Structure 1
Amino acid sequence: MTGSLQIKRKKYYVVARVPDGEGGTKSKWIPTGISSEGNHKREAQKKRLEILAQLEEELKQVKPKHDTTFAYYVHGWLEGKDVTARPNTAKGYRDYATKHILPALGNYDVREITWRVLQNFYNGLLKTHKVNSVKKFDIVVSGALEDAIRDGVLEINPSKLVKWPKREKFEARAFSKDDAAKLLDIAEQAGEPMRAAITLALCYGLRRSEVCGLRWIDIDFNKGTLHVRHTLTQNGVVRLDDDHTKTARSNRVLSLIQNTIPYLKSLRDGQLKAGLPLDKVVAWPNGKTLRPDGITRMFKTLLKNNGMDTTMRFHDLRHTAASLLASAGVPPKQLQAFLGHEDISITYDVYVHLANEDTIATSQKMDNILGQIAGVSEPPEKMIRFC
């Protein structure tokens, strides 16, 4: 509880913020009985602390007119997210609450949720979950506690006081040029729908959700463009077709890559000849949409059957597209627009994986420069070329 000293009618008053009973707060003037005339400020400050302590104790005794269990606030926060968040996101929050948060914390009075209670809860989860995963649970916990603050039941959010271990740095990976070429050959032999999926991810850098959501109306052969504006995501067995992308920047228009146009046209013509309605670009021969989890399973099978590294993910095709373009000298801003990243630092910190031969070439370039300007060594006769 906080409050300041104010003077009114030559007397010291304590002005504190207290709950107004409607989810907000109001100012309350409490007299100290001490005159503001003369040297009485130190006495008034002491009285202020006594008044605030007494007021805080009184507020603890006042029972709100509604349930104050933590479960009450979690359910209320989730209901709000059902309205404001995307369906897939809202369902994820509800899963976190149902499986982990409510069983452990739901029966607590919300005023009993201290930073230490949360610290112990999260420490237990961190034994079996990654830091980033547990921080997603904290979004629900912190949101529910913020609602309790709005009700005047809590003054501070104890989740803000939790100490977290350092985030595990995500090391994204990319296929080499040779492996990328091999994958395109494998995809051609595998046929549909994986050939289309791999082509879009490796050549255009599309995310898995964007690959599954791309429609023929998004491709304009006359203008030579591919518009990334539809996605297909999955939460369990629930398939979510969306007319929007992950972020605003993810909604982007790409120029068609000339080498892929003949294939894409033949894919469209093949679907038409089969009597299928032109909807999703990536589809089974019977026209059925390929689900994101189907892409993951089939991609792993392709890698295994062809003696390739099975620890690589389908999403690593997107990393590969970024690395190949960066190695070819594509400027950062162009690469950011191509990949649809909100933050350019993501483009380089996560997705760019310059090949080892490029780093060797850079070092040799510097060695050559030093040799020319300082005479420390003869320039090498043959440089490893940049790709």
Structure 2
Amino acid sequence: FCHALNEAMYNDKNANPPVRTRRDNGAGSITLRKDGRWMGSIQYGYKADGKPKRITVYGKTQQEAKRKLREKSEEFVKNDGNIILAKSIKDWFSEWLYKELKYTLKPKSFDAKERTINKFIIPNFGYIQINQLTSKDVQALINKMVKQGYSLSQIDKVRSTIAQKYRLGMQNNEVTINPALNAKLPASLKAEVEAKQVLALSEEEVKKLTEQAYKTYPNGTKVYSRGEFIVFLLNTGLRLGEAAALTWDDVDFDNHTITVNKSYVQALNRDKNNINPQTQKPYAYTMILQKSPKTTRSTRVIPLNKEAQRALKGLWDCNKKYELVCANENGKPNVSSNLNRSLKYMLKQAGISTSYSVHSLRHTFATQLFRNHVDIEIISQLLGHADTTITYNTYIHIIQAEKIEAVGSLDFVK
């Protein structure tokens, strides 16, 4: 090697061929160029056309080139014999979020994924290289979120998002391990969730709320503009977004059924030209119509009971000039904040606890079906759940109560 260096120093530099020194496998190579500089090179995979991807460094001396190459080599990780350029978690997750998920997820799902990555994953792990994240790091973040009072649902979103990206990374030979697999969710929070019951109105409360919804002033004017909408939700079990998107051509008046095949979701307003006419500023959120259902079983036909038919007639009288069945006074879809505000006021006026929300109306519908001993498969289909497991897990406390009542009915000796 010294002989080659001496030749490079004393002979005509344009007449000398490059001198290459071999290093350890995967450590790259060092070459003396014709111009007298040393060049270090390392390969880290292949381009789409099959040509190798390389990182190249230069130095005035062999030692300088070695040093620069060693520094670059520290950014790489060996995986199945390939040399892979390590990225920071910030770059890796951001690229995945905005170049892939943005075009594959529905708007509301993308909002949730973006919030999880930008609020929790990047601030805590952003500048760690992707191959250096460990199970201990992920567990430490979970423990930190528990202390900060985050819900089990939010903590699990963080863990599952990390697991999902690393699973894809392993498939693409970008990383060798999935650090989220051994991270554990706190048992204390699991117990809280299992003990937490869904809020559903009692039969007496349903009667009071229904009476309140139809109240009128002495001149016959309705007290509550959204009264029929709330009764309609209470008797159909629709998600708010599904009811908001319902159009009159989805209603079969002859057979007393409605067809659910689309939904409105409230998502971040990413169109800065979507301006609020009152404030002349971009909306923070916007309503987006999704024509594809939430699950494969979300598209469904729901029969209407007499109370739902009565509410639908009231909605027709008010909204027949609009396309939407449950339109607001401007013909636009109702948003959750306005409807929840109306419901809270109605509950208060009826002397009912204001702890209930619009989603409680859906739970009430399901609970009444269980108490009337309707088969869980039918209930699951009416609710549009992906499968009966979701229905079972959501209403386990109701199911257990029904079991106790059923067994009690077998007491032969009274």
Instruction: Classify the TM-score, shorter chain.
Output: 0.7 to 0.9
* CA deviation vs aligned residue, 1:159-193 (integer Å, no higher than 9, x gap): 11112223222421221111011111122226554
The aligned counterpart of 1:318 is 362
Report the CA distance shift for 1:262/1:164 in structure 2 as closer, same or farther (over 3 A).
Answer: closer
Amino acid at match of 1:124: K
Report the CA distance shift for 1:126/1:358 in structure 2 as closer, same or farther (over 3 A).
Answer: closer
Unaligned ranges ≥5, structure 2: 1-42, 49-75, 216-221, 269-284
Q: TM-score, normalised by structure 1?
A: 0.72
Q: What is the CA–CA distance in structure 1 between the aligned matches of 2:389 and 2:117, rounded to whole Å?
A: 32
The aligned counterpart of 1:69 is 88
The aligned counterpart of 1:158 is 179
The aligned counterpart of 1:10 is none
Report the CA distance shift for 1:103/1:318 in structure 2 as closer, same or farther (over 3 A).
Answer: same
Which stretch shows the higher mean deviation, 239-248 or 297-306? 297-306
Tell me how far 1:238 sits from its aligned partner. Answer: 2.6
Amino acid at match of 1:316: S
Q: What is the CA–CA distance in structure 2 between the aligned matches of 1:354 and 1:163, rounded to whole Å?
A: 29
Q: What is the CA–CA distance in structure 2 between the aligned matches of 1:238 and 1:98, rounded to whole Å?
A: 21
Amino acid at match of 2:164: G
The aligned counterpart of 1:181 is 207
Q: What is the CA–CA distance in structure 2 between the aligned matches of 1:72 and 1:316, rounded to whole Å?
A: 41
The aligned counterpart of 2:100 is 80
The aligned counterpart of 1:108 is 128
Q: What is the CA–CA distance in structure 2 between the aligned matches of 1:228 and 1:152, rounded to whole Å?
A: 43
Report the CA distance shift for 1:182/1:23 in structure 2 as closer, same or farther (over 3 A).
Answer: farther
Q: What is the CA–CA distance in structure 2 between the aligned matches of 1:84 and 1:364, rounded to whole Å?
A: 51
The aligned counterpart of 1:196 is 228
In the alignment, structure 1 residue 268 sits paired with structure 2 residue 287: no
Q: What is the CA–CA distance in structure 2 between the aligned matches of 1:296 and 1:23, rounded to whole Å?
A: 54
The aligned counterpart of 1:9 is none
Q: TM-score, normalised by structure 2?
A: 0.68
Tell me how far 1:353 sits from its aligned partner. Answer: 6.2
Q: What is the CA–CA distance in structure 2 between the aligned matches of 1:153 and 1:142, rounded to whole Å?
A: 14
Tell me how far 1:194 sits from its aligned partner. Answer: 2.4
Higher relative contact order (CA 8 A, sep 6+): 1
Report the CA distance shift for 1:185/1:76 in structure 2 as closer, same or farther (over 3 A).
Answer: same
Amino acid at match of 1:68: K
Report the CA distance shift for 1:356/1:331 in structure 2 as closer, same or farther (over 3 A).
Answer: closer
Q: What is the CA–CA distance in structure 2 between the aligned matches of 1:287 and 1:258, rounded to whole Å?
A: 26
Amino acid at match of 2:110: A
The aligned counterpart of 2:152 is 131
* CA deviation vs aligned residue, 1:232-288 (integer Å, no higher than 9, x gap): 11135132211132211111101232343244234213324xxx3x22211223323
Amino acid at match of 2:372: A
The aligned counterpart of 1:228 is 260
Tell me how far 1:146 sits from its aligned partner. Answer: 3.0
Q: What is the CA–CA distance in structure 2 between the aligned matches of 1:306 and 1:112, rounded to whole Å?
A: 58
Tell me how far 1:227 sits from its aligned partner. Answer: 0.5
The aligned counterpart of 1:92 is 112
Report the CA distance shift for 1:247/1:191 in structure 2 as closer, same or farther (over 3 A).
Answer: farther
Amino acid at match of 2:214: E
The aligned counterpart of 1:328 is 372
SS at match of 2:235: helix
Report the CA distance shift for 1:271/1:71 in structure 2 as closer, same or farther (over 3 A).
Answer: same
The question of whether the paired residues in 2 share the 8 Å contact of 1:193 and 1:282 is answered with no
The question of whether the paired residues in 2 share the 8 Å contact of 1:230 and 1:243 is answered with yes
Tell me how far 1:338 sits from its aligned partner. Answer: 1.6
Larger Rg: 2
Percent identity, aligned pairs only? 25
Write the mapping of 1:318-357 to structure 2, written as runs, cut at 5 A: 318-351=362-395, 354=398
SS at match of 1:238: strand
Report the CA distance shift for 1:63/1:191 in structure 2 as closer, same or farther (over 3 A).
Answer: farther
Number of residues paired by the alignment?
A: 315
Q: What is the CA–CA distance in structure 2 between the aligned matches of 1:58 and 1:84, rounded to whole Å?
A: 30
The aligned counterpart of 2:272 is none
Tell me how far 1:135 sits from its aligned partner. Answer: 1.2
Report the CA distance shift for 1:294/1:353 in structure 2 as closer, same or farther (over 3 A).
Answer: farther
Q: What is the CA–CA distance in structure 2 between the aligned matches of 1:315 and 1:253, rounded to whole Å?
A: 20
SS at match of 2:166: helix
Q: What is the CA–CA distance in structure 1 between the aligned matches of 2:130 and 2:77, rounded to whole Å?
A: 17
Tell me how far 1:151 sits from its aligned partner. Answer: 4.4
Q: Which has the higher helix share?
A: 1
Report the CA distance shift for 1:296/1:23 in structure 2 as closer, same or farther (over 3 A).
Answer: farther
